[in-house]
Chains A and B, each alone.
Chain A
């Protein structure tokens, strides 16, 4: 009767219940009529006809209910066809490289696509959002969305241990579920780090370049003025001035080269390198290229490799620059006739890579200039460069990797550097997700250590965290 042919194939559970109710009411009606007929209120003819009508109605309803239930299995075919819609969007979300999360009541993560899992370092279990994303502004926006308020776009940034700028779009979604809390919050994260960095880098570069180039430029223009004025005919002064101008222009050229190299490294700092580099052969290459300089000063370059080869993940040219800078510095600040030791170690945990086991002196200063976040399973290949120079005062250690920082007394003279070498080292090391540390004792010497991650899977972790290989041959 009321049954429409098109709605027959899929009667919902609620429909079927309603039909049963109808059957129940019909039976109840029959019973009431029986009582009325027995008490003589109803004539027999009327009772029989209306009873038959009720019975027919009940039967029809009962049959449609049965038929509806029977029809259900047959209806699965069109349903499967229709379900491909949600299925494909599911797959699309799974493969999307943009982190997307769905947060349920109480801040519980209900769904997260793989991009979100890796972005937040989320395990497989459904955790609470605030344990993986502590940013108060995001959490506020999420709880507003869970109350059904308008979505928001919030920005957050962390400066340490890794600099990152992220924009989070939080949007409420109303789900068709029973219960008091039908709202879910959808979070889409967008990583703004590279554009923010590029922006700041440009400003920094201009500021640095103009600041550092001003000094040599001022002296150049002073000499030019003198040469074109009072000293025009003074041959001796002219030669001397030209010599100084040559030194200044050389310095400017070095500065610009270093600045360019620094900003190139900085630009790519968040892109991890992919190549593989063998550290001990790299050290040998560098030592070969620097040996003429060392020979001039009677400095011995001792490649005490400690019988180690270490293959690390990295860009060969950049690692060359790192080791060259460190050994070059060591040569520059060592007295004539001294020895510089270069060691390569393999298979170290982060903390044992950072510093040697033995201190140079009991009260030597040690500081980590940059280091990767701790991953207990990650192993590192280490290069340590130890000189017997004057050492660096403890209070200068934190500033070593600062741009244009030169320890007092190194600011002038023929040996003066650009103050960018160690800054470049630090940025290259950062890009390689490695670490850079220094230990120094005035009057005894300085040890610089750099370490780079060993590609995972090439080496089995040899020791447990507590048992680190002894560095007997180092002290």
Chain B
């Protein structure tokens, strides 16, 4: 039986520090999450100001990452945690790394918005939006799984990565076809391709976080315990 994540500690201050660490990671997750949401929102409402605000917020996330990393190093040095506590520290370290990447990707989506809205709206905005929703729900669920220490939720997200890939592949093909058909689609199409790729990567980071959460809660590697089914094959274009 695995001890619950928040089992009481002999040194009360230590268990409070660990709790605070998880809460800080969650808060950073919220920052990354809201950047993704705002970047996508700015793309769909064609709002360049909002996109610029997202770009600026990346620095906050970077700062937060450094603060949390310092906190973890301090914990490791002073408390020399083992077992569950060590896993808490290590997984926090891994997750903030992924979250920082997510924020970067959100920033790079937001950066494309000003150029994207120079061209006319395309019918692909809906598809990007839909893919964005799938990715956001994965990110949201995996952060929930982290906050509540729910390995099952993490597994569910991990197993659903295929969905994001399907969306990405479908969008890629359609965009390539549209760009081949119509010259005016090339510029917005290229930006949308990059946005879709960034979303796909955010989905991958959510999957990474799911693996870490699973490891944090159970101490076991997710891939070893649950074999993955057939994956959607990447198509010739890639």
Chains A and B belong together in one complex: yes
Least Cβ distance of B195 to chain A in Å?
Answer: 15
- CB contacts under 8 Å to A, within B212-231, are 230
> Does A134 contact B33, Cβ atoms closer than 8 Å?
yes
Residue of B30, B131, B153 most packed against chain A (CB within 10 A): B30
> Does B130 contact A402, Cβ atoms closer than 8 Å?
yes
Q: State in angstroms the CA–CA spacing of A340 and B221 once bound together.
A: 42
- CB contacts under 8 Å to A, within B29-57, are 29-31, 33-34, 37
- CB-CB < 8 A to A394: which residues of B? 166, 169-170, 232
Known: A159-B133, A398-B127, A398-B131. A130 touches B23 (CB 8 A): yes
B27 at the interface (CB under 8 A from A): yes
Least Cβ distance of A361 to chain B in Å?
Answer: 10
Closest to A399 in B: B127
Q: State in angstroms the CA–CA spacing of A159 and B137 once bound together.
A: 8
Binds B, one of A170-178, A190-198, A363-371: A363-371
Q: State in angstroms the CA–CA spacing of A155 and B162 once bound together.
A: 33
> Does A395 contact B30, Cβ atoms closer than 8 Å?
no
Least Cβ distance of B36 to chain A in Å?
Answer: 10
> Does B30 contact A139, Cβ atoms closer than 8 Å?
yes
- CB-CB < 8 A to A398: which residues of B? 127, 130-131, 166-167, 170-171
- CB-CB < 8 A to B166: which residues of A? 365-367, 394, 397-398
Q: State in angstroms the CA–CA spacing of A402 and B152 once bound together.
A: 30
Q: State in angstroms the CA–CA spacing of A188 and B236 once bound together.
A: 53
Q: How many residues of A contact B (CB 8 A)?
A: 41
> Does B126 contact A376, Cβ atoms closer than 8 Å?
no
Q: Please tell me which one of the listed residues A121, A135, A362, A395 contacts residue B34 in the complex, with CB atoms under 8 A apart.
A: A135
- CB-CB < 8 A to A133: which residues of B? 30
Least Cβ distance of A394 to chain B in Å?
Answer: 7
- CB-CB < 8 A to B162: which residues of A? 366
Please give the residue numbers on chain A whose beta carbons come within 8 Å of chain B beta carbons, in ascending order.
106-107, 121, 125, 128-137, 139, 156-161, 350-351, 359, 362-363, 365-368, 373-374, 376, 394-399, 402, 465
Please give the residue numbers on chain B whose beta carbons come within 8 Å of chain A beta carbons, in ascending order.
6, 19-20, 22-24, 26-27, 29-31, 33-34, 37, 126-127, 130-134, 136-137, 140-141, 143, 147-148, 152-153, 156, 159-160, 162-163, 166-167, 169-171, 173-174, 230, 232-233
- In the assembled complex, 29 residue pairs joining A and B whose CB atoms fall closer than 8 Å, in A order, are A106-B20, A107-B23, A130-B23, A130-B26, A131-B147, A133-B30, A134-B26, A134-B29, A134-B30, A139-B27, A139-B30, A158-B140, A159-B133, A160-B133, A160-B140, A161-B141, A366-B162, A366-B166, A394-B169, A394-B232, A395-B169, A395-B170, A396-B170, A398-B127, A398-B130, A398-B166, A398-B170, A402-B130, A465-B152
| Nearest 5 Cβ contacts at the A-B interface | A134-B30, A160-B137, A128-B23, A130-B27, A161-B137
Given contacts A128-B19, A365-B166, 18 further A-B contacts (CB under 8 A): A125-B6, A128-B22, A131-B26, A134-B33, A139-B27, A156-B34, A157-B37, A158-B37, A159-B136, A160-B133, A160-B137, A350-B156, A363-B230, A394-B169, A394-B232, A399-B127, A399-B170, A402-B130
